[in-house]
Each structure stands twice: as structure tokens, then as C-alpha cells.
Structure 1
Amino acid sequence: MEVFKDMVHELEIGRDNPDGADQGFIGSYFPDLLDQPMFHPPPNGTKLDGRYRLPLGYQMDATYYYLRLRWSVPCGPNSVITFPGASWLKPWYWWSWPVLPLGIQWHEQRRQTLGYGAEMPVVLIQSVFYLGIMAMTRLARPTLSKLCYRRADKNISTLQIGLKVIAIWSILAAYIVPFFVIPHTVHPLLGWSLYLLGAFALSCIAINAFLLPMLPVLMPCIGIFGVLLVMACPWYSNGVVRGLAIFGYAFCCSPIIWVSLVKLMSCLQVSLEREAFMPKLVESTPPAGFNKLY
């Protein structure tokens, strides 16, 4: 404890630090650390005096695991694992797994210690909300002619462009909004399940409102589910093979996504034209007895 207090004091007075980080501070505080003997726990549990160097396995960098998808150096249950990298791709965020394979193990440790009591009410509320949206879209199937058109509309082309923009943005929002409203520190399995449920539920609104085919609209959702399976596959021999598999999946999936996008835009145009001219056809149709009178 005295050593720790002295280290805090050295931080407060601004001890010289070669790199400005924790490793540089420790190296300057213990300049003869490399000359100290290696620590090995005594078999009989006796107390050791003096300074010792901890083996590499006591503090591991997660990148050592990602290269071979296993620990190539000793890493016991008392080890400390650090996760360097971007601040938005840390293992406590639900979207970091399966991008980071160790994320699920981090959350397993949290489940056994802190739990997810703070996030579960929000998860349940969002799940009920999305299920309610799915039920409403199944019961109420509106058409564009009833919602968006009147018989007095003159500029149909401008209205079609506006509706097309609204349809595209509604589909994009269906995939973006659920990502930001899910609690960031929820378990990855719950997070991804809730995201896919939310994307599907919100996509149903655009599908029913604009009379779009379901498969092209949901193709990004299917693609996301597929890449999750590819990344989470536990049978890769090393990280290079895993990276090549992800690249191969993206290469094969990209044309399918593009074809779905083209199909979606074509169906959207057909739907808008059909709904746009329907009121005009109704207006231009003469009464049944009109020809008989003249």
C-alpha cells in the first residue's frame, strides 16, 4: 500500500514519463525492473518478499488472441486482458461481438458479477414495442391512394419523387434507429437479437405503406444476420482464415444486395405510378348510363 501511495504522489508531482502513458510511468518508477527475478507462485503458498517481474501471461493483449484465435502464450484465470483499439469498439459494447471474438467472454464475466439488471427493462420495453408494430402492420394495411392522394392533386410527378424519398429514408431509418436506441452495454446476443427484431418491425411499416416486396427490403437484414454467423463461427484455424471468410462472404453478398436494391427501386416506382394514376382513372371513368343518354 505504501508503494501505491507513493506512485500516486509521483503522478501528482509530474514524474518524468518517456511515453506519457502507464507503461512509461511504470518503467521510470521501477528502472531496475528488468533485472528483477521472474515471479513464480510458490507451491506451498508461502509469502515472498522483494520485487519480482510477472510473466507475460499475467497481462495479455487481446491482439495476441485474434491472430490465432487462441492464446499462444500462458494465460491463466488470474490474467488481466487489455483491449486496445478504437474507443467505440470495446468489448462492453454489444456491437463489438462477434467482430471481437473475446467480447462474449468479457460479457460472460460481467453476467457472473454485475449482471444486466439495469438494461433489461429497456430491452423488454423495446421488444414489446417492436412486436406491437409488427402486429399493427399485419392488421392495418394502408394504401398510398388512401393516405397520400386526393382527387384534386395536379402535380403527380413531384408527389411521386417526394414519396420515393420518404420511402428510401424510411427503409434507412428502419436499420439505423434500432442501433442507437438499444442500451450500449447490453449482452451482445440480446443486442443483436433486438436490433434484428427492430429492423424487421420498422421495415414492415415501409413494406405495407408503400406496397413493397418483402424480400428486397429485408435483404440487408438477412445479410447482417449472415455475416454475424460467419464471424461467430468457432471452427476457424486462425484469424487470417477468419478474415478471408468474412471477405469472401462480403464479396458474394454484395451483388445480391445490389440486385435487391435495383429490384426495390423498380418496385417502388411501379407502386407509386399505379397508386398515382388510380385516382385519375376513377375520375375519368364515365358513369354506367352516360353512353346510353348520349
Structure 2
Amino acid sequence: MGKVVAWVVWVMLIVSQVSMGTSVVESEEGTRVLEGQTKTRNAYATMLYGGTPRDYEFYVAARVLLQSLASLKANADLVLIASASVPRPWLNILKKENVTVKVVEDIHNPYAKRRNFEKRFKHTLNKIYAWTLTEYERVVMLDVDNVFIRAPDELFQCGEFCAAFLNPCIFHSGLFVLKPSNETFNNMLEEIQREVPNPLDGADQGFLTSYFHDLLDRPLFHPPHLPFQQLTGLYRLPQGYQMDAALYYLNLKWNVPCGQNSVITFPSIPMLKPWYWWSYPTLPLGILWHDKRQATIGQKQLVTSQEKNNNSGRMNLRSAQSFHIPRCHPRVVKAMLVVSLSGCYILPFLVVPTTVHPLLGWGAFFFGSFSLLLSIAKAFKLPFIPVLVPWLTCIGMYFIMLWPYHSNGISRSLLMIAYACISSPCLWWCSKELFFSHNGKNDEELAATWAPLKSITPVEFTKLC
């Protein structure tokens, strides 16, 4: 009889906990938020802040990161720590994608007054807000330039702080595991306000490295066999959880034996982050990010903006063809020719949306530059072959980089160097044909290209030049 009563009490407790855990509350914006047991015990989190020239690119990267985790069936909540400066429409889209958004005030960065401080790191100290997510037992904090091969949910079994070392002596803050604690957060905030030494970069990387200065001496993390067992203390993560993309480019394949290959990171030059269309095939791994984007949020919005840019480009070409200037000194015309030919490559590069798929990006770039080159050749009455040979040379280099059968990164680089050496005489011939005179004949022809306006006197003509 006593056992029956105990079972009844146990069932009643379970029912009461479930009923409390599945309560539904109405938020300030009218969205329905489930509380308690409806959430998971852990979370993958990233951050987003405004005030940089590349805000939109990082917003798109954050969406791709979080939705790729959702597509991998990660058993954890998805959280975005957003600065108050992030546009609200962006946050609303993330909420619709089942991301929990936490809006925070930017933490003042006392290291920003350094002479060599990079402004893009000004608000990266917001990353310590991850320690305020106390509704979770463990949080995996991420930078948006991570690409997940699999969902490494075993990381939630790690200790109070765990991170991987890309540098032999300095761990990488692009991915780390933490146990949320308001006490730790407040202590970190005090350390920042006291301006503790941050010799590395004045950002989150340098601060966390100094705060967890003894992580290098800690043991390597090995997931416990029991699925719900959690470790305590600090651990180093195997490199498989932070595979530096640079390791791939040497052999054009992965060779990371320690730890299951899980996450690729791109701690490279900011302008070669994987979401930029020009990063592939310049860096072969960039296509992985675009594949993730295509499988999650898609490219629809950028295609629309691409069509708008193409339409405006056609309008500019029509206006350029009808543009005439008075006759100028041959040297002035040559300078204009140099600027015009350079602009044929620079303008399409600037017009193409930065995070469009590489195939669309390169296609639009080559088509736009080809159209502009034809217009310039027609306007200046230039021979077409010298004008188009550099364009064809660029296409040749593109296909060399795109060729998938390179044995390793060294042979790929050597082939690119050999192609550049072979192409250089052709480029020199083109420059001679376009810019250098033959007994003064080209100067006269180039100057005569721009017919003088009949109403302009020689004095006015001299003033214009």
C-alpha cells in the first residue's frame, strides 16, 4: 500500500511540474513565448551589434549560422545576443525563425582608445553577456563565421569553460562552452572597468585569454559516456571543434585526427570571410557557407537586388555612351582612359551584392565589366582585342582557381603563379597598344577621338584642359 501511495505522489509531482513548465506568457510585442520545460537545458548563442560598415553581412551570417544548426537537429535553443543598435526588422525575422533574441546595452570598451585598436572590435565585449543566460545549464558561444559539419551537442557536457587552441599558446574565442553565472558576469564587468591588461587585441579574444589565463594547463575534453553527465572545471577542446580553414588550404583536404571534425572557422582577413562572393574560388572552402545559406535562408532577396543593380547598370551604360566632353590634351585623354578602364573592373565589383552566391557574383562581375569595356572601347575608338585580353586573362585565372583537381594547395598556387607569368607579356602588349604612342600617331588619334564643340574657342578649350 505504501508503494502505491508513493507512486501516486510521484506522478502528481511530475504532472504539476509539466503543467508549470508549459505555461504560456504574452511578451511585450504580443508574441507567444513558452517557458520552463518547453525550453531545452542548453543553448547555442551568437551575438550581433551595429555601428560597423558590414552590419548587414554579419546579420546574414548570423541567420545562416543559427538556421544551419536548426537543420542539423541540434538539441538546444538558438539564442541571439543583440545590441540595441541592431535594426528591429532584423530581430523580428530572427524571432520568426525560432531564435530567442536578447537585446542588451553595449558594454563600454575601455581599450578602444588605443592607437592600434580596430574599430570593428569596439562592441565585441558584449560576448560576456552569454554568462547572463542563467536559464540554461550550458551555452556554446559562437562567432558568426563558423560553419557546422555536424551538431556537436556533446559540448554541453563540458565544464564551466572550454575552448580550443588554434594558436599553440592562445585559445580561440570563436567557439567556447560556458556555464552561465551572474556572479562570473559581474566579476568580468568589474575586470573590464578596471582595464585589466589586454595586450592581444583589446577585444573579447584578449580579455577572455587573460581571464582564463591557465586554460592551456587544463586537461583535454573527452565526452562522458553517459549522455546527461556534465563535467566540472576547465577543459581544452580538441581542434576538431574549431578547424581553422587555413589548415585545409595546404593539402586541400582535412587532416585533423584529434576529435570528431565538427566546426570550421574562418579567422582570416575580414574581407575574405566565407559569405563574400569573391572568397570562392579564391579560398575553396567559401562555397560551404553559401551551400549552407542556400539550404537555409536562400538567395531570393539578393537576386531581386541584383536585378535592380543590373537595371541601373544598363541605364548607366546608355548614359555613358551618349556622354561627350570637349577635346583635351592627349595626356589628359590618356589619364581618362586609364581611369575608365580601371573603373570597368572596379564598378561591377562594388555594385554586386556582397553576400550573393559566388556563381552569381562572378557572373555579374564578368558580364558587367565586359559591357563597360565594350562601351569604353567604342567611346575612345580603341581596338577591341587589347581591351578584352586582360578581361580574358582574369577569366582564365578564375577557372584555374575553380579547377577541382588540384592535388594540394602548393601546386594550386604554383599553377596560378605560372599562369600569371605566362600572361604578363600579353598584358604588356595590351598596355603598349592602348597607352604608348608610335611616332606620335596614337596621341593624335586619341585626342581626335573626342570631337571639339564648335562653339568653344581655343581659349575656352585651353581652360577646360
- State the TM-score, normalized to the length of structure 2: 0.49
Tell whether 2:282 aligns with 1:112. no
Amino acid at match of 1:121: T
Query: In 2, Cα distance between the equivalents of 1:17 and 1:57?
Result: 30
| 1:237 pairs with one of 380, 383, 407 | 407
Tell whether 2:229 aligns with 1:25. no
Cα gap change, 1:54 to 1:214, in 2 (>3 Å): same
2:190 aligned partner: 13
Tell whether 2:268 aligns with 1:85. yes
SS at match of 2:264: strand
Query: In 1, Cα distance between the equivalents of 2:450 and 2:354?
Result: 43
Q: Is the 8 A contact 1:58 1:75 kept in 2?
A: no
| 2:424 pairs with one of 250, 254, 260 | 254
Query: In 1, Cα distance between the equivalents of 2:242 and 2:325?
Result: 62
* 5+ long unaligned stretches in structure 2: 1-135, 138-178, 454-465
Cα gap change, 1:30 to 1:276, in 2 (>3 Å): closer
1:272 aligned partner: 446
| 2:231 pairs with one of 29, 43, 50 | 50
1:220 aligned partner: 390
Query: In 2, Cα distance between the equivalents of 1:225 and 1:97?
Result: 14
Amino acid at match of 2:382: L
Identity %: 34
2:342 aligned partner: 172
The count of corresponding residues between Structure 1 and Structure 2 is 264
| 1:73 pairs with one of 225, 241, 256 | 256
Cα gap change, 1:41 to 1:105, in 2 (>3 Å): farther
Tell whether 2:333 aligns with 1:163. yes
| Root mean square deviation of aligned Cα | 3.6
Query: In 2, Cα distance between the equivalents of 1:181 and 1:276?
Result: 28
Cα gap change, 1:240 to 1:275, in 2 (>3 Å): closer
Segment drifting more, 120-129 vs 255-264? 120-129
Segment drifting more, 163-172 vs 196-205? 163-172
Query: In 2, Cα distance between the equivalents of 1:19 and 1:162?
Result: 50
Query: In 2, Cα distance between the equivalents of 1:273 and 1:35?
Result: 73
Query: In 1, Cα distance between the equivalents of 2:245 and 2:207?
Result: 20
Encode CA deviations 1:77-115: one digit per residue, 9 max, x unaligned.
872222122212211111122121111111111221222
Q: Is the 8 A contact 1:175 1:199 kept in 2?
A: yes
1:4 aligned partner: 180
SS at match of 2:256: coil
Amino acid at match of 1:272: L
1:182 aligned partner: 352
* 5+ long unaligned stretches in structure 1: 150-155, 280-294
Segment drifting more, 48-57 vs 64-73? 48-57
Query: In 1, Cα distance between the equivalents of 2:291 and 2:339?
Result: 37
Q: Is the 8 A contact 2:329 2:447 kept in 1?
A: no
2:108 aligned partner: none
Amino acid at match of 1:4: P
Amino acid at match of 1:69: L
Tell whether 2:247 aligns with 1:64. yes
Q: CA deviation at 1:70?
A: 0.4
- State the TM-score, normalized to the length of structure 1: 0.74
Query: In 2, Cα distance between the equivalents of 1:102 and 1:203?
Result: 31
Q: Is the 8 A contact 1:92 1:106 kept in 2?
A: yes
Query: In 2, Cα distance between the equivalents of 1:89 and 1:28?
Result: 30
Q: CA deviation at 1:23?
A: 7.7
Encode CA deviations 1:103-138: one digit per residue, 9 max, x unaligned.
11111112212222332222112334456777x69x
Q: Is the 8 A contact 2:344 2:372 kept in 1?
A: yes
Instruction: Specify which structure has the higher proportion of strand.
Output: 2
Q: Is the 8 A contact 1:61 1:84 kept in 2?
A: yes
Segment drifting more, 248-257 vs 118-127? 118-127
Query: In 2, Cα distance between the equivalents of 1:65 and 1:105?
Result: 13
Segment drifting more, 270-279 vs 101-110? 270-279
Tell whether 2:377 aligns with 1:207. yes
